Amino acid sequence: MAVYIDTEDPTSSPALECESVRAERWNGFVVPVTTARAFREFIAAWQAMDPNGTWSPTGVTVEPNTERLVYRDGDDNEDRWGLYGVTETGDGLYALDGWTWIEE
């Protein structure tokens, strides 16, 4: 399943591959549930498409003690998401609220 950031033409923008979306929405937007790896790949795709932007794949980290997913963009803005669950292979899953995600 894929979700997009709500832009003028979302399907021409990189998609975030996610395991699912939560039933609850955040401010009317979907909340994707995904892995840190998939989120990092999404940020890298955006950086490739918008090299002058603030996208920073190296800013996607998982805190070792809390298992929180942290994203720091090129302007030092920070988002944090708690561990939501785990995949069958043991990868952490995170519900990425706070962004304007949509399904297409």
Number of domains in the chain: 1
Enter the tokens of residue 55.
């996208």
pLDDT per residue of the chain (104 residues) written in tens, 0 to 9 = 999 999 988 878 999 999 999 999 999 999 999 999 999 999 999 999 999 999 999 999 999 989 999 999 999 999 999 999 999 999 999 999 999 999 98
CA distance 57 to 55: 7
**Strand, helix or coil at 79?**
strand
**Helical H runs in the chain?**
36-49
Could you tell me the residue range of the domain that residue 9 belongs to?
2-103
φ and ψ at residue 80, rounded to 5 degrees = -135, 140
Q: How far apart are the first and last CA of the chain?
A: 10
Q: How confident is the model at residue 86, as a pLDDT?
A: 96
Give which of 98, 89, 82 is closest to 30, Cα–Cα.
98
